[in-house]
Amino acid sequence: MTDPAVLTAVQAALAAEHAAVYGYGVVGARAGEERAQEAREAYEAHRARRDALRRTVHDLGAAPVVAEAAYVLPFPVPDAPAAARLAAELESRVAAVYADLVAAADGALRGEAAAALREAAVRGTRWRGGSVAFPGLAGRAPAGA
pTM across the whole model: 0.90
List, for residues 108-128, the tens digit of each pLDDT value. 999 999 999 999 999 999 999
List, for residues 16-36, the tens digit of each pLDDT value. 999 999 999 999 999 999 999
Q: What is residue 134's predicted lDDT score, i.e. its pLDDT?
A: 62
Full 3-state SS string of the chain: CCCHHHHHHHHHHHHHHHHHHHHHHHHHHHCCHHHHHHHHHHHHHHHHHHHHHHHHHHHCCCCCCCCCCCCCCCCCCCCHHHHHHHHHHHHHHHHHHHHHHHHHCCHHHHHHHHHHHHHHHHHHHHHHCCCCCCCCCCCCCCCCC
List, for residues 33-61, the tens digit of each pLDDT value. 999 999 999 999 999 999 999 999 999 99
**What share of the chain has pLDDT > 70, as a percent?**
90
Confidence check: pLDDT of 140 > 60: no
Q: What is residue 139's predicted lDDT score, i.e. its pLDDT?
A: 53
